[in-house]
Structure 1
Amino acid sequence: MPITNLNNVHLSNDQVETAKNALSLLESSLQEININLSADDRQKYGSINEQNKLFVNKVYDFHRNQPELEASEVDWSEYERDFISRQNYENLIARLESLTTKLKNAKILHDFDNYQAALTDYAFTAYKAGTAASGYEIKQNELKQFFAPVAKMPSKPSEGINK
């Protein structure tokens, strides 16, 4: 017997609406920074790698602790705002990615449960169609399109062998 109902936790309609409203609020609060980059722009500007993040952090440390050594050509107030924004976005992204993973995990279990129940229903439909119960043959014909046809085995060992 297959394992079913791996996830029996379901959000209420109120919880779904609250989550949707929270997402709408989040989307509107982040609207100001909503910038669409083209694929070329993403490639051109890209995300700085870990080594370069360490470099940016070290320059920030020098700026904060030994400002007499900083280049006058850099707008340091903008540098600080960018630095803080980077940290804020990175923290938000990490939380959102964690939430996304949790939602995907829950969805996977519900998908599995639905598929197992659908297979059970299909097996029952095939059984009932075999008994000529009314309506089941039509249902079976509609559902069997989702399954690949089974290859027939040759009846004699020599059949199906290329000579």
Structure 2
Amino acid sequence: MPITNLNNTHLTIAQVETAKISLSALETALQDITINLSAEDRQKYGSINEQNKLFVNKIYDFNKNQPNLSATEVDWAEFEKDFTSRQNYEALIARLDSLVTRLKNAKILHDYDNYQAALTDYAYTAYKAGTSSPGYEVKQNELKQFFGKTSKTEGIPPASQP
């Protein structure tokens, strides 16, 4: 028998509304700095790799500690603003990625629970259809479309496909 009800924690309507309002506030707060790049722009500008981040960090350190060695052609005030913004964005992205991962994990458990309950209901439907109980044969025929034919247990998919 499969394990079910892996996640019995559910958001209340108030929590969902608070989360939506908070996300809207976050979107509004970040509206001025979020840019919609085209696929070509993302490819062209890309993201600097770890080695290049270390290079940028070293240049930043040299500018802070030995500014007399820095190129006068560089707008160092803008360089520092870009540097600080990049750090701030990375920190926000890390937190958002962590939140997204945790939300996906919770959703996976709810998906699994729904799928197991649906399989249980389908098995019950098949049983009742076999007893000629009214309505169950129609229900079973409607549900059969979701399952491929198998040689051992016709109509029941493997549990690993939620």
Is this a same-fold pair by TM over 0.5? yes
Letter in 1 for 2:36: N
Over the matched positions of the two proteins, sequence identity in percent amounts to: 76
Please provide the CA RMSD for this pair. 1.0
After superposing the two structures, state which structure 1 stretch, 61-70 or 82-91, moved more. 61-70
Alignment-derived partner of residue 124 in structure 1: 124
Letter in 2 for 1:131: T
SS of residue matched to 1:9: coil
Q: How many residues are matched?
A: 152
Higher relative contact order (CA 8 A, sep 6+): 1
Displacement, 1:151?
4.6
Displacement, 1:96?
0.2
Alignment-derived partner of residue 93 in structure 2: 93
1:55 aligns with 2:33: no
The whole-number CA distance in structure 1 between the counterparts of 2:21 and 2:79 is 34
For structure 1, which runs of at least 5 residues remain unmatched after alignment? 153-163
Alignment-derived partner of residue 107 in structure 2: 107
Q: Taking structure 2 as the reference length, what is the TM-score of the superposition?
A: 0.92
For structure 2, which runs of at least 5 residues remain unmatched after alignment? 153-162
The whole-number CA distance in structure 2 between the counterparts of 1:107 and 1:36 is 28
1:43 aligns with 2:43: yes
Choose 1 or 2 for highest CA Rg: 1
Q: Which runs of 4+ in 1 moved over 3 A?
A: none
Q: Taking structure 1 as the reference length, what is the TM-score of the superposition?
A: 0.91
1:142 aligns with 2:129: no
